A = this chain, B = another copy of it.
Amino acid sequence: MDIVIIGGVAAGAKAAAKIKRLLPDAKVSIYTDDTHVSYSSCGLPYYIEGNFSDYRALLVRSVEEFNAAGIDVFLETRVEKILIPQQQVLAVGKVGTRLVNYDKLIIATGARPFIPNIKGINDFKNIFTLRKIEDGIKIRQKMLKSKHVVIIGSGFIGLELLEAFVKNGLDVVVIEKNNRIMSAFDEDMSDLIRKRLEAIPERKFRFYTGETVSEFIGTSYEVETVKTTSGKEFKTDLVILSAGIVPNSEIAQDAGIKIGNSKAIKVNKLMQTSAPNIYACGDCCEEHHLINGHSVLGPLGSTANKEGRCAAMNAAGIYTVFEGVLGSAVSRCLNTTMSMTGFTEKEAKSFGYTPVTAVVSKTDMVSYMPEAGEITLKVVADKVTGLLLGGQAIGSIGADKRINSLASALVGHLTVNEYKNSDFTYSPPYSPTIDPILDAMNILCSKLARHC
């Protein structure tokens, strides 16, 4: 049995390892256009920051380890075409050009950074995106020789890199085309993120929201000035493009495999695509949202691992279901934890719910403890059914604890009434006597009178 896996960062690497364990006699091959296989892309901002000095800490399994397990890895080899009727793929690269047979094909091509159409964007060597190991190495090298950086985009990666640059002493300018930073969050919460960050004394970073970059200007092979449509100009030593990602689904689309509205590959809960014997997993495919079943894009290493495992098991003939995602995410920027799960208020509205919300600002442990930090928790519920829909929390690291509790409640499709007296752990260094979640539930109860 020939198992071919396209892509080998998170989902592909996981799928390969899993299927080889399930089918020891199968021939399992990973084809990837990358120079590395099986690594933690999410760790690159922390490598750049200098939390560890050797980028190899990011590598999960080496090519040698794959080989030792009986898995072939073809680096720098791009699969250019999937031939569905022939059950073959066309691979081009280091190994030359070859047609490879498959019995089962797993597409794990991931995603790539979105490149906005800006004048001069292709002309300079100091404009970086962050996705692969080399990107991280190059950014770190350049950062160590730089004083000024412009980050375009203020999502999770933009703010993680902001932290990295600030901790390395650079002056940072963040340019965001939306009217607020971290726009995955509701407006009130993203305002709060900005307020917390801008309250840092003697900060060396500035946010420019509602600004679009119009042009990169440089005198030689490097950008020296970033210009915006409103006429602002920023001198810089390097530029980071962190303006979102695009799923690498073209090869699937080209083969006639069904693609979703998000431009990612459509899969069912067994990670099967619309084509026979072809599975997809990781950032190149869509997820089902656990709350309402809608298709969403949830490009995350944790999800990629689960999907890779599920695809491998089903490809090996073991029925397994991956139910879907909640959009849970967390990120750290300097002193601020930003954590979310489920629907935001605006998402809930867009899906036709009538959201009610509770916002609680409170210490994350009893306030007399010297380590106490502040968190603001927003919980969203549905006025019609009383169902919990989502949560967002900003503040100290304790914010993330509350969001993971809420994520578990969302997995159980709990209502506010069912969750309102939950028995969380309590001790002064861990929680106030009444946890912020419980305060939020009490507020929601009063707004949902007939459900509580």
Interface 9-residue window, one of A77-85, A195-203, A362-370: A362-370
Q: Decide if B424 touches A368 in the complex (CB within 8 Å).
A: no
Interface size bracket, A side: 35 or more
* Contact A423:B46 (CB < 8 A) given known A366-B40, A430-B332: no
Q: Decide if B426 touches A419 in the complex (CB within 8 Å).
A: no
A431 within 8 A of B: yes
Q: Decide if B403 touches A425 in the complex (CB within 8 Å).
A: yes
A301 within 8 A of B: yes
The minimal Cβ–Cβ distance linking A419 to chain B, given in whole angstroms, is 6
Q: Decide if A330 touches B430 in the complex (CB within 8 Å).
A: yes
The minimal Cβ–Cβ distance linking A438 to chain B, given in whole angstroms, is 8
A128 within 8 A of B: no
The minimal Cβ–Cβ distance linking A415 to chain B, given in whole angstroms, is 10
Q: Decide if B404 touches A302 in the complex (CB within 8 Å).
A: no
Q: Decide if A422 touches B411 in the complex (CB within 8 Å).
A: yes
Number of chain copies forming the complex: 2
Q: A332 vs B408: C-alpha distance in the bound complex, in angstroms?
A: 24
Residue of B nearest to A332 (CB): B429
Q: Select the residue from A328, A370, A406, A423 with max chain B CB neighbours within 10 A.
A: A423
Residue of B nearest to A413 (CB): B412
Q: A46 vs B340: C-alpha distance in the bound complex, in angstroms?
A: 32
Residues of B within 8 A of A411 (CB): 409, 412, 414, 418-419, 422-423
Residue of B nearest to A50 (CB): B370
The minimal Cβ–Cβ distance linking A137 to chain B, given in whole angstroms, is 15
Q: Select the residue from A51, A422, A425 with max chain B CB neighbours within 10 A.
A: A425
Residues of B within 8 A of A329 (CB): 425-427
* Contact A404:B425 (CB < 8 A) given known A412-B409, A412-B411: yes
Q: A406 vs B425: C-alpha distance in the bound complex, in angstroms?
A: 11
Q: Decide if B40 touches A433 in the complex (CB within 8 Å).
A: yes
Residue of B nearest to A303 (CB): B423
Residue of B nearest to A418 (CB): B411
Q: Decide if A427 touches B40 in the complex (CB within 8 Å).
A: no
A263 within 8 A of B: no
Q: A405 vs B402: C-alpha distance in the bound complex, in angstroms?
A: 8
* Contact A425:B341 (CB < 8 A) given known A57-B368, A411-B418, A419-B408: yes
Residues of B within 8 A of A421 (CB): 306, 310, 322-323
Q: Decide if A42 touches B427 in the complex (CB within 8 Å).
A: yes
Residue of B nearest to A370 (CB): B51
Residues of B within 8 A of A406 (CB): 408
A176 within 8 A of B: no
What are 11 contact pairs spanning A and B, CB under 8 A?
A290-B423, A301-B426, A302-B424, A339-B430, A400-B425, A400-B430, A401-B401, A402-B404, A403-B425, A411-B423, A412-B414
Known: A329-B427, A408-B412; 14 extra A-B contacts, CB below 8 A, are A46-B428, A46-B429, A51-B369, A302-B431, A327-B423, A329-B425, A332-B429, A339-B430, A405-B407, A405-B408, A406-B408, A407-B423, A408-B409, A412-B418
